[in-house]
């Protein structure tokens, strides 16, 4: 059981408990219908969907007062189950799924924390999609920048129906005459020299003159490049180090 913050907006499917001080016969547990309506004793149908908890409490209190049912009603709403305001977290997180937005103003980092954070294989770029003011919305958020100075301003507010997608991390593959061939995480602005260093460097038989980078272009064709050591590598690059002939 959890009492929602006063600025939480009630949604379809939410289960609420309504209490009126010193009037136990008016206590009600009910679910908000798909149209945002509840049926309350003495009053009948009330539309509370889309209202904040505080506004819904006032709506019920005013109806009880205006109907001369309770002289000075003090109404409290407790949200027992949040079902109406949810967002999905998908991809490379530790606990993907749908999560309730239990407080208004919930931010991207809050939701990622509920999902257990980005998994080991997850990327730094987070994609948030949904609707804003009835229009399709999409944003790419650079996660590390949210923890830099001023990052709170870039920590996106999440609203009902949003989807958060965490893609796989970018990788580079190195093989041939290197100490530790295999896939490695592509760090930001990583150069060929840094990629080779991450792989333990060249073996005694390896040669810088024999390095080739296989890169797939936008058309799907693979190019074979002879890069410089300070050239940047890209996601999906395959770096091959040939054996020295001398």
Long-range contacts of range 184-187, CB-CB < 8 Å, 24 or more positions apart?
186/233, 186/234, 186/235
CB 115 within 8 Å of CB 93: yes
Q: Which of 145, 168, 191 is the last residue of a domain?
A: 168
Q: How far is CA 94 from CA 17, 169, 187, in A?
A: 33, 14, 21
Domains in the chain, number: 3
Q: Which of 140, 168, 196 is the last residue of a domain?
A: 168
CB 162 within 8 Å of CB 130: yes
* % helix, strand, coil for the chain, step of 5: 15, 40, 45
Do residues 32 and 74 both lie within one domain? yes
In a domain, residue 94? The reply is yes
Helix (H, G, I), strand (E, B) or coil at 43: coil
DSSP code, position 69: S
Helix (H, G, I), strand (E, B) or coil at 108: helix
In a domain, residue 77? The reply is yes
Whichever domain contains 34, its CATH number is: 3.30.1950.10
Helix (H, G, I), strand (E, B) or coil at 189: coil
pLDDT tens, the chain, 246 aa long: 344 455 788 988 899 999 999 999 999 999 999 899 999 999 999 999 989 999 999 999 999 999 999 999 999 999 998 888 889 999 999 999 999 887 777 899 999 999 999 998 999 999 999 999 889 999 999 999 999 888 888 899 998 899 999 999 999 999 999 999 999 999 989 999 999 999 999 999 999 988 999 999 889 899 999 999 999 999 999 999 999 876
Q: Token digits for 16?
A: 């609420």
How far apart, in whole angstroms, are the C-alpha atoms of residue 214 and residue 207? Answer: 17
In a domain, residue 6? The reply is no
Q: Could you tell me which of 193, 185, 196, 143 has the C-alpha nearest to residue 166?
A: 143
Domain limits at 52? 15-81
CB 32 within 8 Å of CB 14: yes
CB 244 within 8 Å of CB 210: yes
The predicted structure's pLDDT at residue 246: 61
Helix (H) or strand (E) holding 109: helix 108-114
How far apart, in whole angstroms, are the C-alpha atoms of residue 196 and residue 27? Answer: 69
Do residues 109 and 75 both lie within one domain? no
Do residues 141 and 106 both lie within one domain? yes
Q: Count Cα atoms within 13 angstroms, Cβ side, for 181.
A: 12
Residue 145: other Cβ atoms inside 10 A:
13
Q: What is the pTM of this model?
A: 0.71
Q: Could you tell me which of 161, 20, 148 has the C-alpha nearest to residue 100?
A: 161
In a domain, residue 178? The reply is yes
Whichever domain contains 177, its CATH number is: 3.10.560.10
């Amino acid at each position: 059981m959890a009492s929602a913050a006063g600025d939480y907006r009630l949604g379809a499917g939410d289960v609420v408990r309504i209490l009126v001080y010193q009037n136990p016969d008016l206590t009600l547990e009910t679910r908000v219908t798909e149209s945002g309506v509840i049926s309350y004793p003495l009053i009948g149908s009330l539309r509370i969907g889309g209202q904040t908890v505080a506004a819904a409490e006032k709506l019920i209190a005013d109806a009880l007062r205006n109907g001369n049912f309770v002289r000075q009603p003090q109404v409290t709403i407790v949200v027992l189950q949040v079902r109406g305001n949810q967002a999905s977290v998908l991809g490379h997180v530790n606990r993907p799924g749908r999560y309730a937005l239990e407080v208004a103003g919930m931010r991207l980092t809050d939701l990622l924390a509920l999902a257990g954070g980005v998994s080991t294989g997850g990327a730094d770029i987070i994609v948030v999609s949904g609707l804003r003011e009835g229009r399709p919305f999409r944003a790419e958020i650079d996660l590390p920048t949210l923890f830099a100075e001023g990052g709170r301003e870039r920590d996106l507010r999440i609203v009902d129906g949003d989807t958060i997608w965490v893609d796989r991390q970018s990788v580079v593959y190195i093989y041939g005459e290197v100490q530790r061939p295999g896939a490695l995480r592509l760090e930001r602005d990583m150069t060929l020299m840094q990629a080779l260093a991450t792989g333990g460097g060249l073996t005694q038989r390896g040669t810088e003159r024999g390095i080739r980078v296989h890169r797939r272009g936008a058309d799907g064709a693979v190019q074979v490049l002879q890069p410089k050591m300070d050239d940047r590598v890209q996601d999906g690059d395959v770096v091959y180090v040939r054996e020295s002939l001398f």
